Structure formats: structure tokens, C-alpha cells
Structure 1
């Protein structure tokens, strides 16, 4: 959790409210003349202050969170966590490319994202280093990127991954003798890199947090929010996002999908498993 004095938190909350007030009254010259609008503003301001006053909550902070963008990253591995992490007032998220600055990085799904910085230029001691999955072989075969991940992983307050991103962390030597998870199809490969595979959705081992496949990145992000800003802050974001999954087919894990479909999927991902195996 971030270390803020109560008076600092209160001041940050008031500064945030002032910014919101300016945005709310941008078209009315800084004044609220409509009684209904004034009542809405009063309710919102009171709620902001009430949230800030809840035990354990830090409403505004100054965290630096580094999300690695490598070619072929899984889009939801980044966007899912980004949604919740960017909701932390005052936090800065660095979308750090492993390539050239300002060049869009195309995800495995074909959607490009524009990075905000390069991996070489991010803060040297980030609050969080987050490595997404996707075409993780691209990272494993990029010595410069792996060197930077290894360096940042030793200085970051928290090191995290989503899906096959855990394989990159393990290959960088950051998961040695650590409990960790990854996508179910490659989780067993962690042992070959010296990690301890665990079949759980989010695994915390000290300052290392790893998430299982793709959608588990949102669970990871909420866990991080709870650690950094308090559990009630994370619960508030979970409610605001209406994050209450009800998958229509209930086949999201090997246990629920059944042996036949799981075997098919395992074979489908065989080339990925081969590429990520420790040699």
C-alpha cells in the first residue's frame, strides 16, 4: 500500500474534486445555476469525500506502473488491467514499448496501441512492472528486452504478469523458487525455469503477482488496487465496472470444459507450448 499521511490524502482528494468541479462547470463559467445540477454535484462531492475517508483507502497517489508492450501482446492482457489501474487517481501508467519510441505496437489480435515511452526510458524503480502474455516468444528472443525486464524486476516494488507473461518473468530469472501461475496450457512449463507452478487464478508470492490466462488480468489488477489503495477502493472499482462474470458456456477452465475439449485446445496450442519450453 502507498504510504500517505491523512492530511496529504485529504488535500489530494480536494484537489481532485476541484478538477472535477472545473470540468462539470466548463460550459457555465465556473458557476452552477441549475438547482438539480447543484444537487448532483453535492452528492458526488460528498461521495468522493466519503470514499476517501473509508478505513484503509488512499484516494489519490503517485504510483508509476510500467506495462510492457511487445509485438504480439494479447490485447486484453493489457486493456483489462489498464482499465482498473488507470482508475487509481494520480497513478501514472507507462505503456512501454520494447521497440522504437512512438511507433504503434500491434497486438496478437491486430489492434495497435501507441506506447507512451520505451522500456529503456521508464522510471528505474517503478511501483509495478507488468508483463502481459501473447506472443511471448518475441520477448524470449529479444535479449535487450529481457535484460531490461530483469533489471526492472529487481527494482520494482511489485512484479506482475498476465497469462504467458509469467514465462517471460521466469525466463528472466525473476520467479526462481517462487509460486506462480500462467495460462493453463503452459503453466507446467514454469517448473523448467525454476518456478513453482500453482493452479490458481491469481498467485501472490511476496512482491510477485501472477495471473492465469487473459481474463485473469482483471483479477490481478483489482488485487493490485487493493494492495496499493485499500480493499474498499478495489471493491468500489469492481462495483463501478459491474465486474460480475457469468460466462454463457461455463467452459473457462479445463475442469469445466471437460477432457475432450481440453485435449483439443491443448493440441491447438501445441506450437505455443513448444516455443515457450525451457531449453
Structure 2
């Protein structure tokens, strides 16, 4: 089974690695990390790089496509017609087209989520409507072959959800055990709907700081005000 995960500078690394750790346990999984160019891709944190050995120009089909998100870099990716055209072409070959966090913005801007419900990280969620999708504040949303996940850690849940659709409950339970994925958070603040206003405001400040750092890494700091306005 060919599983293609798209990477780009400014990516939130767990958006890609979380699903990877689940999906690599699918029998006969053939996972391919791809980017526009061969070489290092830098995370939005600036602390982690991943070396990519495959270009999108050389990858023409997939059974599963995974589009991870980012703090801010997704906005730049949404403007790249080469990337969007590649996503459209790969989508024609997939059984499942998926996204994590703001990766759904790339699917939406490619025209794949028009009139479909979709989710994303809570901060840019409403931006989906600008590209014809129906923003839905849920952790996992399945619409036909499209599965979108909410922010960052939801990518693990999405991949387990997908594994269950492909392999069934017993195999997926075993994969979950292999990962020892047994979330027991200290606080009930991991969902926008249940987080209190003070927590949300604090999170927004931290996201704004991370976004500015990401813009600096991408050489886009001068555009910060207009970009932040887009995702309010």
C-alpha cells in the first residue's frame, strides 16, 4: 500500500510523524515522504529537520495521501500552483485523501473539499469557508474518501481511524497498543469547546509567537500583519 506524506518548510512535525507511526504498521505499507525538492525540510519550531529523498514531480500515485499542517507556512503552500496541481493529480489515484491540522487548507484550496464538511486546528478553522468547505469543529471528519483531522495530536487519532477502516478493529487495537497510545491528559483543556477563555487567550498568544517565528524562518516576517488578519 503506497502511503505518501507531503512535507514542506515550516511544517508541524507531529502532524506528519504521528500518522506515520500508525500507518507504518499497516501490512505492506510503503511510506514515501515527498517535498518540492530533495533535501532538508525544516519544522516550524526551527529545531528539527527531516531529510526528504523524493520530489513531488517523481511521485504520481498513492493509495493514501497525507497532508500535514503547520503554524503559518500552510498559507504559503496554498499559493503554490505546482503543489496544488500535484495534490489534485495524486487525489485522482487515491483511495483515501487525508489531512492533519491546517493541512486541510491545502485540500480546500486545491478544490477538493468544496461543499464538504472538514475540520482543522481551531485557530484557522473558519478559513476553510473561504475555499468552499464547511468548517466543522470535530476531531475527525470523514466525507467520502476525504478524512480531515483537527490540530496536531489529532493526526494520530485520524490514522487510527483510517487503520480501522482499512484493517478493522482487532488489527487497529494492536497498532494502538504497539504505540502505547493511551492519552490521559492532566487537564481537560485540549478541546476548544471545553477550554476556558483564559486558556484560549494564553494559547492564542503562544500561537502568535510561534507564527512570527515561523514567518522569520520562511523570510516572510514583513507580511505578518496581513497573514495574522487572515486567520483571526
The answer, yes or no, to whether TM exceeds 0.5 is yes
**TM-score, length of structure 1 as denominator length:** 0.71
Which residue does 2:220 correspond to in 1? none
- Quote the offset at 1:256 in angstroms: 3.0
Higher-RCO chain (CA-CA 8 Å, sequence separation at least 6) = 2
C-alpha distance after superposition, 1:55-85 (max 9, x if no partner): xxxxxxxx10110011111110011111011
1:226 is aligned, of 143, 157, 164, to 164
Residue aligned with 1:160, SS: strand
Quick one: distance in 2 between partners of 1:268 and 1:240? 32
Match status 1:72 vs 2:24: no
1:197 is aligned, of 87, 111, 135, to 135
- Quote the offset at 1:141 in angstroms: 2.9
Of 240-249 and 256-265, deviating more is 256-265
The gaps in structure 2 that reach 5 residues or longer are 212-223
- Quote the offset at 1:268 in angstroms: 5.1
Query: Of the two, which has the highest radius of gyration?
Result: 1
Matches within 5 A, 1:124-203: 124-134=60-70, 135-203=73-141
Match status 1:114 vs 2:114: no
Quick one: distance in 1 between partners of 2:101 and 2:148? 8
- Structure with higher strand content: 2
C-alpha distance after superposition, 1:97-154 (max 9, x if no partner): 12x22x11111123111113111211x3311111000121231232211221122123
Quick one: distance in 2 between partners of 1:224 and 1:275? 33
The gaps in structure 1 that reach 5 residues or longer are 1-62
